[in-house]
């Protein structure tokens, strides 16, 4: 009897473990949980570092519908940063500083620098790797668990390794997500500095799952880094809107300066 239960569990387990295509789909849906063809958002960013604490209000415009991703990020406040912004068009990164009223085109060497003193880098903000396209997924484990709200969900831990010749920054990622009904919600992304590393150098945690812009999304993203475990940068969506037409003049230097 016991053996039969064991065998049944095994068969059921095998049946529910995802196939390669399903896995790719899960990765894609988790990756795009808060991104549409276009995305407009107002977020606030809280930075906690050993040397300072700071919060920004930010407006974010992203148009991924064209052949190259276009992004405009502007800080709405407080005063010391209000009006500073970053524009990505045609893979080119332009930053604007209202106090000097100057546009500067950043070179690749600045991509790894911290964005506005946060734990995010310039690269995080504007260069969005497509996890399903640029990485090959392998399921490490799957288990049944509960969501934060107490609902039953199927969890997956997926390891992502770069597809050949994919222009990626991280040589290894791990993505933890759950499937609850129709929703695929990421819970954790682990970033590894080297493919052979066991410990991630930084961790993004997704929480506060709620309905925003007509979708169910994790409204809070918390990024922590292994080198300073007490520090974090937290990003919270106040408003999210997907798939509306964003006018082209939103992604221009004029809009950045405005």
Partner 1 sequence: MSSLGLVLRIAWRNLGRNRRRTLITGAGIALGAALCIGAVGILDGLDLQIVRSVTDGELGHVQVHAPDYLRSRKLRDAFDPSAAMPVLDHAGHVTGVAPRIYGWGFAAKDAQSAGVQLMGIDPQREPAVTNLLPAGSPLPVAPTPWKKAVPLTDQQRAEDAALTKAATEAAIAEIDATAPAASPPATRDETRALLAQVAPRPDAPLPALVGAGLARKLHVQAGDTFSVISQDLDGAQVDVDVRVIGLLHTSSDALDRTRVVMNWRDLQRMLGLGAQVHEIAMRLDQPSRAADVVAALHQQAALGKLDVESWTQLRPDAVAIVGANDALSETLVFLIFLVSALGVTNTMLMSIFERKREFGVLKALGMRPAMLVAMVVAETVLLASVAASAGLIAGWGLDELLLHVGLHTSQAAFSLAGTSVDPVLHAAITVKGLLMPVAALIGMAFVASLYPAFSAARVQPAVGMRDL
Q: By CB under 8 A, name the binding residues for partner 1.
A: 40-42, 47, 49, 51-52, 54, 57, 59, 76-84, 95, 97-100, 102, 104-107, 109-110, 113-114, 116-118, 238-239, 241, 244, 250, 255, 258
Which lies closer to partner 1 via its Cβ, residue 62 or residue 189? 62
The residues, any chain, with a CB within 8 Å of residue 51's CB and separated by 6 or more, are none
Residue 221 beta carbon to partner 1: minimum distance, rounded to whole angstroms? 19
Which lies closer to partner 1 via its Cβ, residue 127 or residue 241? 241
The residues, any chain, with a CB within 8 Å of residue 22's CB and separated by 6 or more, are none
Which lies closer to partner 1 via its Cβ, residue 61 or residue 135? 61
Residue 219 beta carbon to partner 1: minimum distance, rounded to whole angstroms? 15
Q: What is the C-alpha separation between 211 and 221, in angstroms, rounded?
A: 15
Which lies closer to partner 1 via its Cβ, residue 79 or residue 149? 79
Residue 110 beta carbon to partner 1: minimum distance, rounded to whole angstroms? 6
Residue 125 beta carbon to partner 1: minimum distance, rounded to whole angstroms? 13
The residues, any chain, with a CB within 8 Å of residue 242's CB and separated by 6 or more, are 35, 36, 37, 38, 39, 213, 214, 215
Which lies closer to partner 1 via its Cβ, residue 222 or residue 233? 233
Residue 120 beta carbon to partner 1: minimum distance, rounded to whole angstroms? 11
Residue 42 beta carbon to partner 1: minimum distance, rounded to whole angstroms? 5
Look at the block and give the residue holding tokens 């799952």. Answer: 209
């Amino acid at each position: 009897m016991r053996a039969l239960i064991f065998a049944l569990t095994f068969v059921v387990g095998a049946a529910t473990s995802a196939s390669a295509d399903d896995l790719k789909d899960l990765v894609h849906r988790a990756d795009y949980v808060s991104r549409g063809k276009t995305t407009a958002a107002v977020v606030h960013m809280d930075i906690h570092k050993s040397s300072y604490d700071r919060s920004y209000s930010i407006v974010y415009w992203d148009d991924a519908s064209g052949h190259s991703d276009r992004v405009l990020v502007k800080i709405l406040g407080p005063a010391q940063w209000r009006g500073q912004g970053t524009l990505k068009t045609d893979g080119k990164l332009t930053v604007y500083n209202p106090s000097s009223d100057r546009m500067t085109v950043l070179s690749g060497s600045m991509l790894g620098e911290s964005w506005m003193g946060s734990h995010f880098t310039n690269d995080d903000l504007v260069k969005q790797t497509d996890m399903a396209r640029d990485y090959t997924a392998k399921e490490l484990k799957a288990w049944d668990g509960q969501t934060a709200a107490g609902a039953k969900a199927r969890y997956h831990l997926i390891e992502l390794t770069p597809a050949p010749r994919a222009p990626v920054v991280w040589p290894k990622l791990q993505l933890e997500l759950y499937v609850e009904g129709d929703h695929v919600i990421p819970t954790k992304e682990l970033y590894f500095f080297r493919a052979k590393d066991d410990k991630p150098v930084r961790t993004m945690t997704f929480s506060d799952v709620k309905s925003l812009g007509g979708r169910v999304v994790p409204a809070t993203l918390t990024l922590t880094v292994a080198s300073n475990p007490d520090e974090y940068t937290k990003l919270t969506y106040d408003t999210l809107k997907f798939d509306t037409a964003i006018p082209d003049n939103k992604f221009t230097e004029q809009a950045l300066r405005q």
